[in-house]
Structure 1
């Protein structure tokens, strides 16, 4: 009989102890996924995968080693343990490595309240194909669409278990269901494309396939006959589809690993005003039915709701155990890890304070400027915060959308940009990163 992830974790711990490990943590991930893609009304690609992956980290004093495998046989587990211990004995010492203290470990979490797993049956391949075909047909029906580049639907189910040699053992299941569509409008050198999609934990929350296909088609057609805008300094409105990238740069700069290395433009920013005083950035890993939710982190510590930015002021770093020890601080319960990797700090669900105005209101107030709906490439200096990205979207004149634009670059400095952001009220509350459209005054735009 196939062993459960929990049983495999404890088998790994036992084997590592027999091999000579002083401390151990293990992670086992078990899951399956099914994806369907269609093209021109026919099945284009179908893929199903199933597997179990085992990860083992062992400690000999302040030395550590990490190994992984997709083979769960008993002899493989013994070989993994012996190899990991041998590697750890040869590894350099790391004064900041090690398991959490027993008093730090999460206890008594309410997994049911997080609703990470849809109990309904896995959808049949024909159901996924039907959704993909419906999205494709809706996109193709939009006047001006020359072809549908891709339409697909997928489902995944995964179970994860984490256990340590000093008493932690916990796991949970996740499900995910998605539909996506990309349409192409025009022909030849004048072709433009755009997309839409949705991904949810519960099937019942998923948007309709026809709606997704229609919006993908309408977005692609709206981009036809794009021009390059004039070079200059203009207000830039980051559409809700791309605005979370700005907050992502802020999160990367406040990551404990970057702070410990001294490679962040925020390294001296603790306690400083980073955003306008009316705005906060709240992390909440306990929101139900959200992909970033979890009861504990990758080191067995309880996750917690916290303010990264409170009333514009940076309140703290995002820390795992190692980065916290380097900075002589406490972990914030933000250790993320894969089966084959050691922990590192990462953020969970994020929400930026929304504004009072709609996106249309901000467009009306812009006068002349750029509405960005797509970002291409990235040149971000992590030490200075200098920002430069390729962009496309729509030119705004007299407070109204005038025509689509592409092949331009927007530039500025993140420290200055973030202090000037004005949020709209159009954030999607079901995303892991809830960030509305953001207006930034006075960015440099390089076009024609």
Structure 2
């Protein structure tokens, strides 16, 4: 029982995961993007399925085929002569070579899809490309024969031609007026399209329709001709000449600008140098004034220093002089006082001791005062003039003068002996000199 259940489950699972998907895939087939699936039934009816999607098919009752709906790119290399005319309407064709690429694809209607599936896609791919190249090249040559050289390059910029040339060209175009003016089914004529593309589209529309295809676009890559090359060279030469002119003008302007800039820089540098020179002169003047002021200051300081030094020296000399004067005055005062005191003491001693003391001192000091008395007498230059016969006469006056000199020397010697005097003069032998006091002699003369 269990084994039957297991086998039943296995069969169910197999049916669910294998048989049912296989059955569904047999009835519903995938249609990929960029493809078209055509399914024909036994009755002769054909269904078209555009991917991505599913197509309904019944094995043994339907037949299906798949074609590509992608655009086909065809490269064209067309060489022929144009329909150019000279000024008198005489044909003057120009050989041109057109390199272009055309894009065609399967038509949008079911009839064109069926036609393409029956007439175009059954052929090998290489043959398909060759058919398209021949068809489009022949249409392109026909189009070149109907256009002028300038129309191939730009219909909007084509130069105007003479009336005779226009008449001859109109007669030639009248033969193909239906071809040019009648739009192809499903391909509306656009005013902005290139004339070559318009003519090719119109010229090959019937042939492409017979194959179930439609003309999408024409991309002109290059149009080559000797005239175009000459014009290109001329344009290049003119452009180069213009470029050279512009470059020369720009170079001249740049040179002028550089010269102007250099001139401005030179002016600025000259102004700067002048300013520097002026500043240097001002600085030199200021420095000179500074040095002069410093010199004046130094001189003033030196003079002040000298004046101060002189004042200090004068003050010092004054102080020293005053000190010396005071000292000398004190010394003189002291000497005078001492002398007076000594004389007073001598007089007192003489008064107290009397004549005996005086004679005793004279005898005691005789060895010392004898030279002084002799010097005093010699310096006295005693001259006695008798004025008359009075009492005493000249001898008495002379004796009185001598006595006076001796008394004076004796008094001085006594003072010196007692040490009252300080700073007495000394002789050349270092011995103390006894000053001889000046003695007033008769007639107003002194012994000094």
Per the TM superposition, whether the score is higher than 0.5 is: no
Q: Rg: which structure is higher?
A: 2
TM-score, with length taken from structure 1: 0.18
Higher relative contact order (CA 8 A, sep 6+): 1
Q: TM-score, normalised by structure 2?
A: 0.18
